Amino acid sequence: MSDMSENRPGWGLTATAFTVVAFLQLPVIVVVLAAFSTTSYLTIPPQGLTLAWFGKVLSDPTYLSAIRMSLILACGSTLISLVLGVAAAYALFRKVLPGSEAVTSFLMAPLVMPAVVVGVALLQFYSMTGLRGSLIGLLLAHVVITVPYVVRSALASLSGLDLAVEEAARVLGASGFEAFRLVTLPLIAPGLVAGALFSFITSLDNVPVTIFLISASQTTLPVLIFSSVEMGIDPSVAAVSTLLILATGIVLLLAERRFGFHRFV
């Protein structure tokens, strides 16, 4: 699109924005620096540089299985949330159901309820139904806490949609599902990215619900980090975070290269 200089942010706004960015990075920088520290306790500035902690993390089977579990849960719950959430958002958007607003607000409830309460409630429920420690139970618990983000962003995305394009697709011969898949979905996909991102991060980061539901043998990364606090923090924790940040950066840069990601946000 043409460059409309009237709309360009001025230098005052740019300066403010960059200050905020700097503020956001402060703990990140501290953590990344700490990951390279030679001392076994975290100090800033680091007294020496080493990659040892990265090596420790990547070779420790407990860490590796925790990372694996976290990724499975995050990917799985985000995927399930996307399917369930988009379907529900679409039904709400078409307004064929009574009380859509009330239902929508209800769908936000898992976000609002303090996570600890959700965790304890599920613990009680799972103990009664024998789901405690099961992967499917954990997965569905994560779906519960992540799906509100997907529903929110799907509804926001759908609100900008002109129904006429779907109708055009139908008259041209597409079935209901085809019209959704070929027309509606591509058009709302950009808006879904934010929801999927929040969902993924919420699952990846979650402690209060997860900690009650894991089995003794299998743990997730954030819970592992959390429990290791009791034994004293060493820089492996920082190393893991740095690895996560690095991985995310690479994935998103690749997505940009391949899909022109910047158009989506």
Partner 1 sequence: MGSLTFEGLGKSYGEVEVVRDVSLTIAEGEFVSLLGPSGCGKTTILRMVAGLVEPSRGRILIGRDDVTTLPPNKRGLGLVFQSYALFPHMTVFENVAFGLRRRKVAGAELDKRVKEALGMVRLGTFGERYPRQLSGGQQQRVAIARALAPHPRVLLFDEPLSNLDAQLRDEMQIELKRLQRNLGITTLFVTHDQGEALSMSDRVGVMAKGVMQQFAAPEDIYHRPATGFVASFIGKPNRLSGSVAMREGAGGRLAVGGVAIPAARIDQPAGAKVDIVIRQEAVAIRSGIPRPGEVAGEVVLRSFSGARVQYVVRLAEGVEIVAETASHGPEAALAIGAPVGLAIDPAAVFAMPPEGAKP
Partner 2 sequence: MMSRRQGLLLIAPLLLVLAGFFLVPVLMLLPTSFGVYEPGTGLIKGAWSLKNYSQIVSDDYYREVIWRTLGLGFSVTLICLLLSYPLAYLIARGPERWRVPLILLVIFPMLLNLVVRSFGWIALLANRGLINNLLMQLGVIGAPVKLLFNFVGLFIGLTHIYLPFMVLMLVAAIRNVPRDVESAAATLGSSRAHVFMAVTLPLSAPGILAGSILVFVLTISALVTPRMLGGPTYQVMATLIYDWPSGSALSFALTFMAVAIIWLSSRLTKRWAGMA
* Residue 147 in contact with partner 2, rule: CB under 8 A: yes
Can you tell me the distance from the alpha carbon of 250 to that of 239, in angstroms, rounded to the nearest whole number?
A: 16
In a 13 Å sphere around the CA of 247, the CA atoms on its Cβ side amount to 8
Dihedral (CA of 57, 58, 60, 61) sign: positive
| Interface with partner 2 in residues 32-51 (CB under 8 A) | 34, 42, 44
**Minimum CB distance to partner 2 smaller for 49 or for 97:** 97
Instruction: Assess contact for 47 and 37: CB atoms under 8 A.
Output: yes
CB of 238 to partner 2, least distance (A): 6
Token pair 């990846």 is found at: 204
| Interface with partner 2 in residues 178-237 (CB under 8 A) | 191, 194, 197-198, 201, 204-205, 207-208, 211, 221-222, 225-226, 229-230, 233, 237
- The interface partner of residue 108, options being partner 2, partner 1, none and the CB cut-off 5 to 8 Å by kind, is partner 2
Residues that bind partner 1 (CB under 8 A): 162, 164-165, 167-176, 178, 182-183, 186-187
Helix axes 135-159, 61-93, angle to 10 degrees: 40
CB of 123 to partner 2, least distance (A): 8
* Residue 105 in contact with partner 2, rule: CB under 8 A: yes
The 4-33 contact track toward partner 2, x by CB under 8 A, reads x-xxxxx--xx-xx--xx-xxxxxx-xx--
* Residue 90 in contact with partner 2, rule: CB under 8 A: yes
- The interface partner of residue 8, options being partner 1, partner 2, none and the CB cut-off 5 to 8 Å by kind, is partner 2
Residue 12's Cβ-count burial label (10 Å; 0-12, 13-18, 19+) is exposed
- The interface partner of residue 169, options being partner 1, partner 2, none and the CB cut-off 5 to 8 Å by kind, is partner 1
Q: Which helix (H) or strand (E) holds 63?
A: helix 61-93
**Minimum CB distance to partner 1 smaller for 185 or for 252:** 185
In this structure, the dihedral spanned by the alpha carbons of residues 215, 221, 225 and 228, taken in order and rounded to 10 degrees, is 40
Residue among 124, 178, 182, 259 that touches partner 2 (CB under 8 A): 124
**Minimum CB distance to partner 1 smaller for 182 or for 250:** 182
* Residue 154 in contact with partner 2, rule: CB under 8 A: no
∠ CA(209), CA(156), CA(177), 5° rounding?
95
Residue 197's Cβ-count burial label (10 Å; 0-12, 13-18, 19+) is middle
Residue among 167, 175, 215, 254 that touches partner 2 (CB under 8 A): 167
